[in-house]
């Protein structure tokens, strides 16, 4: 038999109906969480573990490139990896500056090509350092000339062994430059919808700071995906080994760096009048006596004394004495 409501309960129900919010004692189901649409076309195709390994590789590459540029162009350089992201090639192409320098290179035996985008700020800073100029204001920068491109091609070719060194802890590769372009129209290394990894580096050259981007297609790293396991890579390169490798690289660069060396016979002074009247066959007497040692300058600084002579039908100088640091400073 059903329960009979009392008069007070009936009054409560009527009051609740009149107020518009009846309390029936039945709990309403929780509101469903908002549902977000998922686009399978934008799914990440490069696992996070591989992204982390790519960052480790390019952290090493950044150090190698900074050391190389500092020694080769005579200007302090600092390079750091800012980010490693996954994008489509179309997104990357739309973000490239119209005046960027684009280097396309292969990393054998990986598939396809890789693109290095050097911002105009970095390229011009390198050119100015190599050619002895001053920093060019952004608004006064011109298009790259044929001479500029020849110089920059040589600079970027010198990056290729460094790229190989950075990757060799994971997979043995040989990087080789294919071409240098100044327009994305001629740098279509993959189709617009293909997935790529973008490694963005901050480059500080003197007072100039700008970016270098390295674009690696996903299809290029697919064959070595298993080698991009961060655990495998970490086990292969403990901190002590990485530090030792970095020291070896710096030492190798120092040992192969060319510095000027010359033997200075003597110096003298003449008047402008005598200089104007100089004729072929005139004899200029020097204060240097026959048999006296000559100074040997290393990097334009006197470091040694030597004796002039000949060897194998060529002039030569034999090192005889080291110039002490105090004496060198006085001169």
Give domain status of residue 143, yes or no.
yes
- pLDDT attached to residue 114: 95
User: Which of 255, 286, 305 delimits the end of a domain?
Assistant: 255
Name the phi and psi angles at 288, rounded to 5.
Answer: -75, 125
- pLDDT attached to residue 30: 55
- Tell how far CA 107 is from the center of its chain: 16
Residues 278, 296: one domain? yes
Give domain status of residue 142, yes or no.
yes
3-state secondary structure the chain: CCCCCCHHHHHHHHHHHHHCCCCCCCCCCCCCCCCCCCCHHHCCCCCHHHHHHHHHHHHHHHHHHHHHHHHHHCCCEEEEEEEEEEEEHHHHHHHCCCCCEEEEEEEECCCCEEEEEECHHHHHHHHHHHHCCCCCCHHHCCCCCHHHHHHHHHHHHCCHHHHHHHHCCCCCCEEEEEEEECCHHHCCCCCCCCEEEEEEEEEEECCEEEEEEEEEEHHHHHHHHHHHCHHHHHHHCCHHHHHHHHHHHHHHHHHCCCCCEEEECCCCCCCHHHHHCCCCCCCCCCCCCCCCCEEEEECCEEEEEEEEEEECCEEEEEEEEECCHHHHHHC
Give domain status of residue 9, yes or no.
no
What is the residue whose two structure tokens read 């190698």?
64
Residues 146, 215: one domain? yes
Give domain status of residue 195, yes or no.
yes
Residues 164, 294: one domain? no
Give domain status of residue 164, yes or no.
yes
pLDDT band at 63 (very low <50, low <70, confident <90, very high): very high
- Which pairing describes strands 77-88 and 195-205: parallel, antiparallel, or unpaired? antiparallel
| Interval 67-81 mean pLDDT | 89
pLDDT band at 1 (very low <50, low <70, confident <90, very high): very low
Residues 118, 204: one domain? yes
Maximum CA extent, the chain? 141
How far is residue 257 from each of residues 68, 70, 72, 216, measured CA to CA in Å? 10, 11, 8, 31
Report for 132-136, 195-199, 321-325: range of highest mean pLDDT: 195-199
Give domain status of residue 299, yes or no.
yes
User: Which of 214, 234, 255 delimits the end of a domain?
Assistant: 255
% of residues, the chain, pLDDT over 70: 79
Least confident of 21-30, 85-94, 296-305, 312-321: 21-30
pLDDT in tens, 21-59: 555 555 555 555 566 665 555 556 788 888 888 999 999
Question: Which residue range forms the structural domain that includes residue 286?
Answer: 261-330
Residues 273, 220: one domain? no
Residues 242, 279: one domain? no
% of residues, the chain, pLDDT over 90: 34
Asked whether residue 6 carries a pLDDT value surpassing 90, the answer given is no
Residues 249, 313: one domain? no
Residues 101, 250: one domain? yes
Which residues is 301 bridged to in the sheet?
A: 298
| Interval 157-184 mean pLDDT | 92
Residues 178, 234: one domain? yes
Give domain status of residue 60, yes or no.
yes
Rounded distance between C-alpha atoms, residue 230 and residue 48, angstroms: 10
| Interval 198-204 mean pLDDT | 95
Residues 282, 202: one domain? no
User: Which of 203, 236, 255 delimits the end of a domain?
Assistant: 255
Give domain status of residue 19, yes or no.
no
Round the average pLDDT of the chain to a whole number and report it.
Answer: 82
Asked whether residue 73 carries a pLDDT value surpassing 80, the answer given is yes
Residues 161, 279: one domain? no
Return the half-sphere exposure (C-beta side, CA atoms, 13 A cut-off) of residue 193: 3
Q: What angle do CA 189, 83, 116 make, to 5 degrees?
A: 30
Asked whether residue 19 carries a pLDDT value surpassing 50, the answer given is yes
- pLDDT attached to residue 146: 92
CATH number at residue 58: 3.40.1550.10
Look at the chain and report how many structural domains it folds into.
Answer: 2
Q: What is the pTM of this model?
A: 0.61
Least confident of 121-125, 170-174, 322-326: 322-326
Rounded distance between C-alpha atoms, residue 317 and residue 304, angstroms: 11
Asked whether residue 87 carries a pLDDT value surpassing 70, the answer given is yes
Residues 89, 51: one domain? yes
CATH number at residue 323: 2.30.330.10
pLDDT band at 62 (very low <50, low <70, confident <90, very high): very high
119 close to 210: Cβ distance less than 8 angstroms: yes
Cβ atoms < 10 Å from Cβ of 112? 16
């Amino acid at each position: 038999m059903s329960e009979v409501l009392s008069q007070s309960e009936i009054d409560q129900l009527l009051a609740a109906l009149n107020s518009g919010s009846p309390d029936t004692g039945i709990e309403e189901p929780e509101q469903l969480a908002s549902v977000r649409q998922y686009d399978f076309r934008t799914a990440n195709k490069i696992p996070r573990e591989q992204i982390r390994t790519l960052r480790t590789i390019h952290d090493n590459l950044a150090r190698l490139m900074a050391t190389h540029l500092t020694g080769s162009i005579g200007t302090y350089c600092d390079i750091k990896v800012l980010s490693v992201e996954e994008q489509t090639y179309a997104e990357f192409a739309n973000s490239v500056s119209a005046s960027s320098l684009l280097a396309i290179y292969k990393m054998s035996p990986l598939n396809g090509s890789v693109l290095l985008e050097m911002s105009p700020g970095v390229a011009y800073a390198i050119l100015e350092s190599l050619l002895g100029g001053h920093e060019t204001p952004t608004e006064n920068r011109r298009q790259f000339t044929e001479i500029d491109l020849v110089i920059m091609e040589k600079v970027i070719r010198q990056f290729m062994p460094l790229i190989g060194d950075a990757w060799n802890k994971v997979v043995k590769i040989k990087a080789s430059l294919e071409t240098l372009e100044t327009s994305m129209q001629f740098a279509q290394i993959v189709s617009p919808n293909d997935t790529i990894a973008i490694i963005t580096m901050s480059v500080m050259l003197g007072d100039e700071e700008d970016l270098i981007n390295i674009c690696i297609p996903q299809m290029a790293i697919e064959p070595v995906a298993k080698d991009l396991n961060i655990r495998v890579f970490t086990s292969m390169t403990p901190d002590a080994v990485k530090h030792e490798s970095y020291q070896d690289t710096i030492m190798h660069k120092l040992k192969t760096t060319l510095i000027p060396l010359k033997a200075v016979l003597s110096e003298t002074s003449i008047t402008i009048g005598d200089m104007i009247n100089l004729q072929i066959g005139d004899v200029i007497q020097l204060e240097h006596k026959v048999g006296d040692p000559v100074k040997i300058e290393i990097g334009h600084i006197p470091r040694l004394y030597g004796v002039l002579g000949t060897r194998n039908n060529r002039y030569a100088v034999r090192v005889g004495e080291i110039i002490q640091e105090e004496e060198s400073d006085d001169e």
